[in-house]
Amino acid sequence: MLAAVLAAGGIGSGCGGSEAASAPKLAEGARSEGLEHEPCGGSGDRSDVLDTNGDRKPEITRYFDAASHEKCRVVDLNHDGKPDIFEYFDSNGAVRRREFCYDDTGLVNAIEYYESGKLVRREYDIGGGHRIDTWDWFDPNAPVDPKTGRPAHPVRRERDTKGNGRVDQWWTWNGSQLTIAIDRNGDGKPDPNSALVFGDDGGTATDAGTVGTLSNAGSTALAGADAAAANGAQQAHGLGAGR
């Protein structure tokens, strides 16, 4: 109950900083870009801590509801006393949300949403502007990569590459073929004939330079995000399993 209330109203301090979410923008193609931290734990909650290296700073702090179900945990992977991952669980114990702090700013950089333990959506800050600039949607039934625990790619992605609160790229996957539609004239819609297509052979695009830039920029950041997420989750669960 508390978690639901907090989820509905929670715009908080994230991984130690303070970042107020901007008011929702209603223009066509606009999306909310606030990285809204969901509070995890309070002074009245039962919790336990795990300090694996004895420096009196916990690597994992777990918070429980009145029925002793773990509702969320805070994980500090690099022993600096600042959270790196927040994980939230549903009433069945399946993960429902993860927040990641990839850099040293102390702010949430990415949020993943799960349904019945399956990744369905991800929002993140690729550009480092402390706001969401990339939105991914996943097929919860897609096979997952054993290394990352996630599908190889989303089914759909939207990006705001200019940081102006408006989506200007639309990525869609059909199998391994990726199509990117682009808004260059700023009307919030894909420009006619703007779609760039590339697939298995890696070379069918009409504008090779642009595609290379787009695909490299996207995949580098994404690979980093996926690796950090997978690494963090594995370490977190490894620590938890070792209790």
Residues that bind Ca ion (CB under 5 A): 51, 53, 55, 57, 76, 78, 80, 82, 84, 183, 185, 187, 189, 191
DSSP-assigned letters across all residues of 93-143: S-EEEEEE--STTSS--EEEEEETTEEEEEEE-SSSSSS--EEEE--TTS-
- Compute CA 85 distance to the chain's CA centroid, rounded to the nearest angstrom: 11
CB of 197 to Ca ion, least distance (A): 18
Q: Pick between residue 28 and residue 115 the one whose CB is nearest to Ca ion.
A: 28
Please give the Cα distance from 199 to 60 (Å, whole number).
42
CB of 103 to Ca ion, least distance (A): 11
Spatial contact of 72 and 89, defined as CB atoms under 8 Å apart: yes
CB of 55 to Ca ion, least distance (A): 4
CB of 170 to Ca ion, least distance (A): 11
**Residue whose C-beta lies closest to Ca ion:** 183
Q: Pick between residue 57 and residue 147 the one whose CB is nearest to Ca ion.
A: 57
Q: Pick between residue 3 and residue 85 the one whose CB is nearest to Ca ion.
A: 85
State the amino acid at position 239 in one-letter form: L
| Residue among 90, 133, 87, 92 nearest 109 (CA) | 133
Q: Which two tokens stand for residue 242?
A: 């070792």
Q: Pick between residue 185 and residue 220 the one whose CB is nearest to Ca ion.
A: 185
CB of 186 to Ca ion, least distance (A): 7
Q: Pick between residue 21 and residue 197 the one whose CB is nearest to Ca ion.
A: 197
Looking at the DSSP assignment, which residues form a beta bridge with residue 115? 118
CB of 191 to Ca ion, least distance (A): 4
Please count the other Cβ atoms lying within 10 Å of the Cβ belonging to residue 19: 20
Q: Pick between residue 102 and residue 138 the one whose CB is nearest to Ca ion.
A: 102
Q: How many residues does the chain have?
A: 243
Please count the other Cβ atoms lying within 10 Å of the Cβ belonging to residue 176: 10
